[in-house]
């Protein structure tokens, strides 16, 4: 598994009325500054395909399924997210993209930073140079 990526199990409260899951700041290794979600992804499309200098994140599949592919510059690993009580923690300075979105998939991203275009590294060669 690329360094420092890890799965975080979230609480699941189940009763006859359905399920409820929650996340609080102390369950994850950063302070949440921003939340965004990706949805209505046409079949075959990929999202991401970059690294973040600072942004750390937790990615949750709220609905449907998709794969998060993480690359630390030498090792690549794919994680299928298909449960809404399971989060994938992805630290900064890892290359990642998301693919294989099912119909109606909703990817929730909890982020440690506000949006900042300068935080993105869009060039894989540059990413490898920086982490070397």
Is 97 assigned a catalytic role?
Answer: no
| Nearest distance from C-beta of residue 73 to ligand TYD, angstroms | 19
Candidate residues 23, 29, 47, 128; the one interacting with ligand TYD per rule CB under 6 A: 47
What is the H or E stretch that residue 107 is in? strand 106-111
Say how many C-beta atoms besides its own lie within 10 A of residue 110's C-beta.
20
Report residue 75: phi and psi, to 5°.
Answer: -120, 140
- x-or-dash string of contact with ligand TYD, 5-44, rule CB under 6 A: -----------------------------x-x-x------
Comparison of 85 and 110: residue with beta carbon closer to ligand TYD: 110
Comparison of 72 and 85: residue with beta carbon closer to ligand TYD: 72
Comparison of 85 and 98: residue with beta carbon closer to ligand TYD: 98
Say how many C-beta atoms besides its own lie within 10 A of residue 98's C-beta.
23
Touching ligand TYD, residues 63-122 (CB under 6 A): 115
What is the H or E stretch that residue 130 is in? helix 124-131
Catalytic residue (choose from 4, 46, 50, 128) = 50
Asked if 48 touches ligand TYD (CB under 6 A), the answer is yes
How far is the C-alpha of 53 from the C-alpha of 80, rounded, in Å? 24
70, HSE (Cβ side, Cα atoms, 13 Å):
24
Q: What six digits make up the tokens of 20?
A: 């409820």
Residues serving a catalytic function are 50
* Interaction site with ligand TYD (CB under 6 A): 34, 36, 38, 47-48, 115
């Amino acid at each position: 598994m690329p360094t420092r990526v890890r799965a975080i199990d979230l609480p699941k409260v189940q009763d006859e009325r359905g399920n409820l899951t929650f996340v609080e700041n102390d369950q994850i290794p950063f302070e949440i500054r921003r939340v965004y979600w990706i949805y209505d992804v046409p079949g075959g499309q990929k999202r991401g395909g970059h690294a973040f200098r600072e942004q750390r994140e937790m990615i949750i599949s709220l609905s449907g399924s998709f794969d998060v592919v993480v690359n630390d510059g030498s090792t690549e690993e794919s994680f299928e997210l298909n449960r809404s009580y399971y989060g994938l923690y992805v630290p900064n300075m890892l290359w990642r993209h998301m693919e294989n979105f099912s119909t109606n998939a909703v990817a929730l991203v909890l982020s440690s930073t506000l949006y900042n275009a300068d935080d993105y590294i869009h060039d894989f060669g540059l990413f490898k140079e920086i982490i070397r």
